[in-house]
Structure 1
Amino acid sequence: MSDTHSQLAFVRTEMLAQKEPPAKDKGAVKWVRTNLFSSWSNTILTLVAFYVIVKLIVSAGPWFANGLWDTNSLSECRAILDGARGACFSVLSERWQQLLFGIAYPSDQYWRPTLAFVIMLVAAAPVLFVKLPRILLIVTGLFPFVAYWLLWGGTFLTPLVSLIGVIAGYYAFKNVERFGFVLGLGTGVIVAAIVWKIGGALTASMDDVLALRAVASRDMGGYMLNMMLGVVCISLSLPIGIMLALGRQSHMPIIKGISVVFIEFIRGVPLITLLFVASVVLAYFFPPETNMDLILRVIIMITMFSSAYIAEVIRGGLAALPKGQYEAADSLGLDYAQAMRLIILPQALKISIPGIVNVAVGLFKDTTLVSVISMFDLVGMIRGPILASTEWNGVYWELYGFAALLFFVTCYSISQYSQWLERQLRTDHR
C-alpha cells in the first residue's frame, strides 16, 4: 500500500465543494424549458396560448382601464364614455349589497350574515384541518344553531332548545344503540322531536329573550342564499350519501331495494324538476295547516339530489378496496359498524375525494337554478330586480362577470383544498 501511495503525485484528502448547476438547469429557466418548451408540440401550443392571451389583454384592457365606478345609471356611463370602450362598474358599486344579501334583507342587519360567514370559517377549520386544536370542534357543533339565530333572527331560545333536543337525542341513541342501530336511531329522533316540541311551546311566549329582528325566508337572497344552500346541502348530503352507498351494498333485500330505487330515481330526474316539485308539489305531502318554508323544501330536494350522486361515488370507493381489507376486519373480530368506521370507510373516502369534490362543486354551481322558482339568489338578483330597473337595463358583462368571479373563487378554493387533502392523505411509497 505504501509503494502505491509513493508512486502517486497527489492524493486528495477532502471532497471538492459542490458547484452550481448550469443556468439552464435551475430556477425559472429550467421551469420554462420543462413546462413550456419541452418539445416541438408544447412549444407550438405555448406560442398559440401566448398569442391568445395577448389578444385578450389588448382587447379587454381598454374596457377595464376606462371602467367607471361612480355614475348613477347606464345612460350616464355611456354619456361620459362618449363612444369609447369602457365598462360600467358603477352597477357593482351601487348594487353590491343587493348582489350579496338580496333586495329585501334589512340593510341595517347586514352584520348578521357577515358574522355568520366568519363563524362558519372558524367552525369549518377543525374539520378541514385536523392538526388544529380539537377544542374548536365545540364551535363546529354550535355553529348551525348560532347561524340559524343570526340569519333568521327571533329569540335565542329557539336554537337553544333545538341544541338541547339534539343532545338529548344523541344520548338516547347511544343508550339504545346496543339493541340495534335502527332502534337507537329511531329512539334518538323521537326524543329530539319531543324535546323540541316541548321547548317550542315553552318559548312561544318568551320572544323577547335575546331576540334579534326576525327576517323571513322570502327576504333571503343574493350570494348569501347560494352560500346557505351550498353549505347546508353539501354538509347533509355527505352522511346521507354514505348511508345510501352502504345500503346499496347491504345483504338485506329491503334496505338494498330502497337504496337502489332512491338512487336510480333521483339520478334519473333533472335537478330543475326536483326544484319545481319543491316549489309546488312538496307542500301537498304535509298536513294542510303546515306552512313549510320554501328554503327548507329546496334544501330537502337539493340534498336528495346530491346524496344520490355522492352515494355512487362512495360506492365506487368501496368497490375499489381489495377484498383483503374486509377479511382483515373480520379476522380482528370487528362487527359491521366497527369495520366500516375504523377500516373500510376511511380508505374508501380517501379514494373518493376527487369524486366527492366534483359533486360538491357541481352542487354549489347548481344552486343558481333556484332562480327559476322565483328565489332571488345571485343570478336571480341580476336577472330580476337589477336588469329590470331602468337605470341598469342593458348591463350584462359587468354583472355576470362579477357573479362568475364569486363562484370561481369559491369553487377554486374547494378544488385546491381537495388537492391539498389528497397530498396529506397519500400513504403510498414515494
Structure 2
Amino acid sequence: MNAKEIRQLFPILDQKVNGKPLVYLDSAATSQKPIQVIEKVEDYYRRYNSNVHRGVHTLGTLATDGYEGARGKVRRFINASSTEEIIFTRGTTTAINLVASSYGRDNLAEGDEIVITPMEHHSNIIPWQQVAKATGATLKYIPLQEDGTIDLEDVKKTVTANTKIVAVMQVSNVLGTINPVKEIAAIAHQNGAVMLVDGAQSTPHMRVDVQELDCDFFAFSGHKMGGPTGIGVLYGKKALLEKMEPIEFGGEMIDFVGLQESTWKELPWKFEGGTPIIAGAIGLGAAIDFLEEIGLGEIEKHEHELAQYAMERLSVVEGLTIYGPKKRAGLVTFNIDDVHPHDVATVLDAEGIAVRAGHHCAQPLMKWLDVTATARASFYLYNTKEDVDALAEGLVKTKEYFGNVF
C-alpha cells in the first residue's frame, strides 16, 4: 500500500483549507487518525461503554477485555517482557512525571546527578529540574555537536559514578536527530544509573524494542501514532516498578483499604488510579494494529525518503536555513531570513499547508541554535512528495510576499 492509498484511510485529509487541498505537515505535534481507529473508538461508545475491572456484567467484561487487550498489543509492539511492565498514562509527559515523582524523588539525594541533553522536550526537562530542587541532586547536560547530534565520548565524560538517572529522547522533535539511546543506556548502566527514553517521536515512526535498547523506562503517546489523544504508555522494568510507589491514589489501584492504612494492587494497576482512559486505550490498540499492518520498516523508509527529498527541495529556497543533521527522522525544521516563523506558518496556512511554528517546547535548544523560534514540517505515512512540493512552492510564495512587503 503506497502513501496515496494510505491517505484515503484518513478522513480528515479529504478536505480543503482556505480553499486549497489540505497538506498536513504537523504530525510531530499530533498525527491524524485512520478510519479504523475512529470506528473502533465509536464502537466502544456505541456498543459496550462500561467501566473496567469492576462489574461482572457483559458490557463490563467487553470493556475490560478491550482495555487489557490493548495492553497486550502495546507489550508486543515494543517487545516488553510482560504486560505488568505496561502502564497506561495520559501521555508521554505524564509517564515521565511518574518516573520523576516516584522513582526520582525516592532514589536521589544531594550529590547525585541527573543527566539529560539540551535538545529535550520541556516534558523531559522540567520534571528533572523539579526533582533536582526537591532532592538536592545536580542536573547535567550532555553537550551537542555542531550538527545537533550526540558524541558518545561526551556521554562517557558527562555520566559519572554519581549519575543516578539518564533521560534522553530517542528522536528530536526539532532537529530530527536519532540518538544512540541503546549505547547511552549501556554507558548509564556501567555507571550504575537507570535510563529513561522519551519515545514520543520515535515509536510512531520506527520499530522499538525496549529489551534490545535495554532501557529501564520508555515513554510514548498514542496521539502521535494514529491513536486518540489523552492516552500514553510508560514501560518500566518490572523489578523497578515493583519498588516504586504510586503517585495517584484512589479507586482501582488499591488492594485493601482500612481506616488508617491501605495496600496497593499488583502491577500494572497500582499506577492506574481512578477510571482509566478506556476508549483511548482501545483506540491505541487499533492504531497499533494499523501500523503493524503497514509495517514500521516501510513507514521509516518512506519518511526517511521524504525528509531527504524535502531537504533537497527546500535547500534551493533563497535565505532558508535548515537545522539538524543530514541523517534524520521525518521532519525538517527551518527559518527564512527576515521572516518570523509565525508569519511563514500563516502564509502557508493560506495555501492549505499546516506546519508548526514556535519554540516547539524546546526553548533550551532554541537558545543553543541562537534563534527565538523556527518553523517545522513533519511527515508521516500519509504524506507524499507532492506534499513536499507544495511546501517548497508555498515557501517561495512566502519569500516573494515578504520581499514585496519590505
TM-score normalised per structure 2: 0.27
Larger RCO, structures 1/2 (Cα 8 Å, 6+ apart): 2
Q: Which has the higher strand share?
A: 2
Q: Which has the higher helix share?
A: 1
TM-score normalised per structure 1: 0.26
Larger radius of gyration: 1
